[in-house]
Amino acid sequence: MPTPGNSYRQFTGVVVSAGKMMKTVRVRIPGQRWDKHIRKDFPAPYHVLVSDPTESVREGDVVTLRNGWRTSKQVHHIVTSIVAPFGPEISKRPRIPTEDERQQQLLHARLEKDLRKAALGRKASIQHIGQIARDEEWVQELPERLAAAWQQAKEAGIVKTGKEQDEMPPINVRARQNVAAAAKYTEKGLENEEQVEQIHEAGESVAEDVARGGKAI
At 62-84, the pLDDT tens digits run: 999 999 888 899 999 999 999 99
Domain-located, residue 73: yes
- Taking the CB of residue 56, how many other CB atoms lie within 10 A of it? 22
71 and 109 both lie in a single domain: no
Phi and psi for 3 in degrees, rounded to 5? -95, 130
Distance (Å) of CA 131 to CA 26, 112, 113, 116, 145: 41, 15, 15, 16, 15
Domain-located, residue 58: yes
Domain range for 111: 101-156
- Cα torsion angle, 48, 49, 53, 57, sign: positive
Q: Maximum Cα–Cα distance for the chain, whole Å?
A: 115
| Domain count within the chain | 2
112 and 78 both lie in a single domain: no
Domain-located, residue 50: yes
64 and 139 both lie in a single domain: no
Phi and psi for 66 in degrees, rounded to 5? -130, 155
Question: What pTM value is reported for the model?
Answer: 0.61
The most confident of the ranges 3-12, 38-47, 106-115 is 38-47
41: which strand partners?
Answer: 34
52 and 117 both lie in a single domain: no
One DSSP character per residue, 97-127 reads PPHHHHHHHHHHHHHHHHHHHHHTT-HHHHH
51 and 111 both lie in a single domain: no
Domain-located, residue 215: no
Domain-located, residue 137: yes
Distance CA 90, CA 62 (A): 12
3-class SS at 53?
coil
Predicted confidence (pLDDT) per residue in 103-162, tens digit: 888 888 888 888 888 888 888 888 888 888 888 888 788 788 888 888 887 777 776 555
Looking at residue 80, which CATH number applies to its domain?
A: 2.40.50.140
Distance CA 118, CA 124 (A): 8
